[in-house]
Amino acid sequence: MPLRPGRCYRHFSGPAYTRKEYIPGIPQPKISKFTSGNPNGDYDYELRLINTEIGQIRHNALEAARVITLKTLSKKTGSETSFFMWVLKYPHHVLRENKMMAFAGADRLQDGMRLSFGTPIGTAARVQKLGETIILVRVKKEHLQFAKEALEVASKKLPLDTRIEVIPLKQASVS
């Protein structure tokens, strides 16, 4: 099995650290837009990137998955008006790190584990139940294969195992 990215912050223990009004110096999430494309289009299929593992997804991994999905869909379909993409997870949880120095003489500058609460280094989205949708894409019938490819590439950017679910939005007409 290949190594997945984001091994340090993939799993979590304890409650979420989300009270941002009490936390100074939180970096802004890298994810800039959560929706792209035409939300009011007449689409045939809805594809969902669903988690099969419980864990955390850092904000930079969510942004990487969003960018590669948008780029692949825009290139293959020809325009941003022929699909709708929505990143459903928001990085609420604040990640902390107790920075340790690793050079000569560092033992005189740091306290080790004494008062090691840590400083904020980023944010993450917690996926706490199996089967939660991370990214949703709506496309027409002719772009279904392109959307599958885009979500397959996006799943490789995420630290958790995922699967792609295809849901038809229109009933098949019986003649």
CA distance 46 to 137: 6
Task: Please check whether residue 62 lies inside any domain of the structure.
Answer: yes
| Domain membership flag for residue 173 | no
Which pLDDT belongs to residue 2? 57
pLDDT tens digits, one per residue of 83-112: 999 999 999 999 988 877 777 666 666 677
Mean pLDDT of 119-139: 94
Residue 157 resides in a domain:
yes
Residue 1 predicted with pLDDT over 70? no
Q: Which domain holds residue 66?
A: 35-97+117-168
Indicate whether 107 belongs to any domain. no
- Domain at 134, CATH number: 3.90.1170.10
pTM for the model: 0.85
| Residue range 37-85, pLDDT digits in tens | 999 999 999 999 999 999 999 999 999 999 999 999 999 998 888 999 9
pLDDT of residue 105: 65
Cα separation, 126 vs 46, whole angstroms: 23
pLDDT of 98 reads 81
102's tokens: 């690793």
In a domain, 26, yes or no: no
Q: Is residue 112 part of a domain?
A: no
Q: Residue 8 pLDDT more than 90?
A: no
What is the rounded average pLDDT of the residues 160-172? Answer: 91
57 is a domain residue:
yes
Q: What is the pLDDT of residue 42?
A: 92
**Is 4 a residue whose pLDDT tops 70?**
no
Return the pLDDT at 5: 60
Q: Look at the chain and report how many structural domains it folds into.
A: 1
What does pLDDT average to over the chain?
A: 88
**30 within domain boundaries:** no
Q: How many CB atoms lie within 10 A of CB 34?
A: 14
